[in-house]
């Protein structure tokens, strides 16, 4: 629970410092690239998150690595803040929250749409239009396939799930029969 609060604080602070969509896209891509780099260098990652090494030494190492890393000032500064506060281990989860927080800051609703088969471009467009109309604001949809669904859709917005799947219908029927 404490980590979720920290993740949200760091992600929100970063989002509030961003001025435009172009800046967000660039910063987000650079942070993702650093995360991939760090993930592929396990020894470096271990050193930078080690509780045995002093923060000063970790900052020196991180600064040396970031000198050679192709990224802007803001992502480098953010990464050094994470290192300085012994929070670099939260980077993956911060990255996972950034797009939704950016969209929310811009007044855009984010939805995750799951289906058993990929939706056609036309189906995606119609769904986006309907959700935008319901939300009365722009929406961003992320699509994924879920083999566990029998058919239909499962649409998630934050903690709310709209289940329009056959599996969901069967589960509701089961509960109704068991409750009567």
Tens of pLDDT, residues 1-23: 578 899 999 999 999 999 999 99
Count of CB atoms within 10 A of residue 115's CB? 21
Model pLDDT, residue 1:
58
**Residue 43 reports pLDDT greater than 70:** yes
Bridge-based pairing of strands 152-157 and 160-165 is: antiparallel
| 149 CB-side CA count, 13 A | 19
**How far apart are the C-alpha atoms of 33 and 70, rounded to whole Å?**
9
Output DSSP code: residue 89: G
pLDDT digit string, tens, across residues 122-172: 999 998 999 899 889 999 888 988 887 777 788 888 778 877 767 776 677
Question: Is 48 within 8 Å of 80 (Cβ atoms)?
Answer: no
Q: Which residues contact 36 (CB under 8 A, 6 or more apart)?
A: none
């Amino acid at each position: 629970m404490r980590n979720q609060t920290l993740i949200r604080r760091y992600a929100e602070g970063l989002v509030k410092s961003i001025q435009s969509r172009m800046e967000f896209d660039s910063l987000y891509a650079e942070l993702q690239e650093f995360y991939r780099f760090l993930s592929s260098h396990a020894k470096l990652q271990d050193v930078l998150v080690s509780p045995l090494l002093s923060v000063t030494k970790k900052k020196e190492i991180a600064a040396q690595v970031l000198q050679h890393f192709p990224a802007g000032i803001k992502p480098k500064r953010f990464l050094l803040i994470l290192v300085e506060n012994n929070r670099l281990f939260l980077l993956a989860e911060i990255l996972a929250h950034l797009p939704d927080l950016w969209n929310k800051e811009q007044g855009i609703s984010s939805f995750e749409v799951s289906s058993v088969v990929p939706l056609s471009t036309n189906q995606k467009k119609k769904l986006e239009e309907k959700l935008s109309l319901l939300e009365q604001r722009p929406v961003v949809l992320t699509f994924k396939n879920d083999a566990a669904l029998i058919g239909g859709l499962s649409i998630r917005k934050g903690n709310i799930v709209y289940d329009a799947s056959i599996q969901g219908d069967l589960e509701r029927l089961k509960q109704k029969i068991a409750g009567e």
